[in-house]
Structure 1
Amino acid sequence: MEEFADLEPFRKELLAHCYRMLASVHEAEDAVQETYLRAWRAWADFEGRSSVRVWLYRIATNVCLTALEQRGRRALPSGIVAPSTELDTVGAQAPDGIGWIEPIPESRVADDPAAIVTLRESLRLALIAALQYLPPKQRAVLILREVLAFPAAEVATMLDTSVAAVKSTLQRARARIDETAPTQGEVYEPTDPAARALLEDYIAGFENADTAALERALRADAALEMVGTTTWFSGLVTCMKVMVSAAGEPGDWRMIPVIANGQPAVGSYYKGEPYGIAVLTPTPGGLTHIHVFSTPSLVTYFGLPPTAPGP
């Protein structure tokens, strides 16, 4: 079907939508595949009463809502426990029903530079984490109305509800987001020279075991989260102790810049082997958050080589 093939350009934006809903790039990819499968099966019955884009978002949103019925929310360590004070803390697994938020490569959700700039704010880790506190239906309404700017009437059609219900659900979702979303202030774009300088200090701090570079990179209220465990640290002094200890000797680490969740990030290698992805939050005054995803397979998922390249 040639006409069905015309739906392919929507794939990346649908992936971004499903990721906001599910906070897992792998679950989001499965949801997009299921969306296209359902669309293929229903294509002959599509009567054009709405645009194809609205029709696809309706399918994708309902696929996500079904997936969310079968599991609990995903979170970052700071959304589960208080910060650790002991440097040798061994991170415990999350309580039952809670999984971990995953990072998403920017290249997976957009190609067009203008679209990328628009997407970045809606994919930042702080917002993705805050969205997970919302019940699934509230999450869907907030994303469809506030992020994607669909009219209330179209959202009501997508969710088989009334316009009045959409409006009241959106009010509740906004109130809950105001309670849970941290106030970050200005966050630099990954391409901003100030963001690049902080990224360079972070990389130099690890690759060269340069304590001064690490200290330049961090803001006084910085937080370091070890995603995949319930361990995280808060404050410049504690974070520096952890990072200086982890930096080891010059040459132990190799880091390659990437962009994840609309934020500067690095693919990390330890003694030549893939370690994971670290996502940075650059602001005036320094990095406020470093989220370390110590999953080696993420390195190749972000399009990086399977072993550390040369200097």
Structure 2
Amino acid sequence: MSEVSSESLDLALARAGDDAAFDRLVAPLRRQLHAHCYRMLGSTHDADDALQDALLRAWRALPRFEGRSSLRSWLYTVATRTCLDAAESRGRRAMPVDLGPSRDTVVLDQGPLTDVAFLGPYADTGLTNELASPAARYEQREAVELAFVAALQHLPGNQRAALLLFDVLGFSAAEIADTMKTSTTSVNSALSRARKEIADKVPARSQQQNLRTLGDARVREVVAGYAAALEQGDSELLVSLLTEDVTWSMPPMPYWYAGVTAVMDHAVHVPMTCGSWRHVPTTANGQPALACYLRPEGESEYAAWSIDMFTLRDGRIAAITSFIGKENFTILGLPPTTD
């Protein structure tokens, strides 16, 4: 049976109430739909909720689906509207850089902020480096990179949706206008404003481009060097891996550091002195990362502490983002402790 006829049969069965047929229809799109929800909302947990809500809405509305667009387009329409509703009620996700200027010296007496919703990491397993369509501008991994998703959070919902649907997923302006119940003129205007904002906040070269230029061997070398520097308390090694303008942020901590002097002041007073470390290489948001497990003095177990994600430039670390909290390990499918 051809793929088209199989989909048509499942669509007919699903319309008649067959939830297994609906699951088969959704399965090939579920991973990308989830990534779309994450880009819109900046949180894996919010994306989980939004996708579940969107699929429930789609299931209930399926008998009214007339097939004037593809099932893919229709599902993205439902998911986008669901995310717009969620974004309106929950607000945008922030990064420490959004909250104030960088610190010049180490901060030891300030705890995490509990009244700010911070951007979270994203498990990139299953995402490809392919464009969603010939019209798309961004690869799928580029479109979950930290700088891009953080910049998206500064856009109003309509601009965020228009940019993602057009530049990431390859929808036409007319399709987006139908999704957002507006005109193509409004869509084109939203696209223009969104692209300007993104261009002002996102580096010209994506991490995917930088990583391909560096090569896997150099990326592994940098990540392994960072792990060794923290585990051995080797400040000279760490300095050799950093750019002069490196930044280090630690959501949900509100403060952040800019410049190698400030970053090293933090490093030698906090991670290099707070206990013993074990690191597990991983990836998140299409970027190299380490799962960092800490064993404080007097303890016997290495427990989940942070996911340290790296932005690389010219073979060195230009930004470290430490997502603190064991919940981030769950997102990436990592254990809460290690030997």
TM norm structure 1: 0.91
The structure 1 segments of at least 4 consecutive aligned residues displaced by more than 6 Å after TM superposition are none
CA distance in 2, matches of 1:113, 1:152: 24
Q: Is the 8 A contact 2:106 2:269 kept in 1?
A: no
2:10 aligns with none
Larger radius of gyration: 2
The Cα of 1:113 is off from its aligned counterpart by 6.8
Return closer, same or farther for 1:89/1:244 CA change in 2, 3 Å cut-off. closer
Deviation at 1:247, TM superposition (A): 3.5
Structure 2 residue 282 is the aligned partner of structure 1 residue 261: no
What corresponds to 1:296 in structure 2?
Answer: 326
Native 8 Å contact 1:202 1:214 kept in 2: yes
Q: Output one character per residue of 1:67-93: Cα deviation in whole Å (capped at 9) or x when no partner.
A: 111122211111221001231354466
Give the alignment partner of residue 204 of structure 1, picking from 205, 223, 228: 228
How many residue pairs match? The answer is 306
Q: C-alpha deviations, 1:112-146, integer Å up to 9, x for none? A: 57579932211111111111111011110011111
Distance in 1 (CA, whole Å) between partners of 2:114 and 2:335 is 34
* Counterpart code for 1:227: P
Aligned to 1:235: 259
Instruction: Provide the C-alpha distance between the structure 2 equivalents of 1:224 and 1:288, rounded to a whole number of angstroms.
Output: 9
Does residue 249 of structure 2 align to residue 219 of structure 1?
no
Deviations 1:137-158 (CA, angstroms, capped at 9, x unpaired): 1110011111111111111111
1:80 to 94, 99, 111: 99
Structure 1 residue 153 corresponds to structure 2 residue 174: yes
Q: 1:188 aligns with which of 211, 223, 233?
A: 211
- Per-residue displacement from partner, 1:217-248 (whole Å, max 9, x unpaired)? 21111000011021100111111121122343
Distance apart, 1:214 and its partner CA:
1.1
In structure 1, the residue matched to 2:80 is: 61
Q: Identify which range, 25-34 or 180-189, moves more after superposition.
A: 180-189
Structure 1 residues 37, 171: closer, same or farther in 2, change over 3 A? same
Q: Provide closer, same or farther for how the CA distance between residues 307 and 92 of structure 1 changes in structure 2, counting only shifts above 3 A.
A: closer
Give the whole-Å Cα distance in 1 for the aligned partners of 2:236 and 2:278: 18
Answer whether contact 1:199 1:264 (CA < 8 A) is retained.
Answer: yes
Mapping 1:164-175, distance limit 5 Å: 164-175=185-196
Q: Distance in 2 between matches of 1:250 and 1:209?
A: 11
Contact 2:248 2:257 in 1 (8 A): yes
Calculate percent identity across the aligned residue pairs: 38
> How does 1:268-287 map onto structure 2 within 5 Å?
268-271=292-295, 272-287=302-317
| 1:87 aligned counterpart, secondary structure | coil
Aligned partners of 1:23 and 1:101 also within 8 Å: yes
Q: Note if contact 1:233-1:239 (Cα within 8 Å) is conserved in structure 2.
A: yes
Mapping of residues 55-134 of structure 1, within 5 Å: 55-91=74-110, 98-107=116-125, 110=126, 118-134=139-155
- CA shift at 1:206, angstroms? 1.4
Cα distance, 1:91–1:53 mapped onto 2, change above 3 Å: farther
The letter of the residue matching 1:104 is: Y
Are residues 45 and 258 of structure 1, via their aligned partners in 2, closer, same or farther at CA, if it must alter by over 3 Å? same
State whether residues 225 and 231 of structure 1, in contact with CA within 8 Å, keep that contact through their aligned partners in structure 2. Answer: yes
User: Residue 8 of structure 1 corresponds to which residue in structure 2?
Assistant: 27
In the alignment, structure 2 segments of 5+ residues that lack a partner are: 1-17, 133-137, 296-301
Cα distance between partner residues in 2 of 1:30 and 1:23: 12
Letter of the aligned partner of 2:117 in structure 1?
Answer: G
What is the CA–CA distance in structure 1 between the aligned matches of 2:146 and 2:58, rounded to whole Å?
30
What is the CA–CA distance in structure 2 between the aligned matches of 1:139 and 1:15, rounded to whole Å? 16
Shift of the 228–142 alpha-carbon distance from structure 1 to 2, 3 Å rule, reads same
- Root mean square deviation, CA, Å: 2.4
- Cα distance in structure 2, aligned partners of 1:264 and 1:161: 40
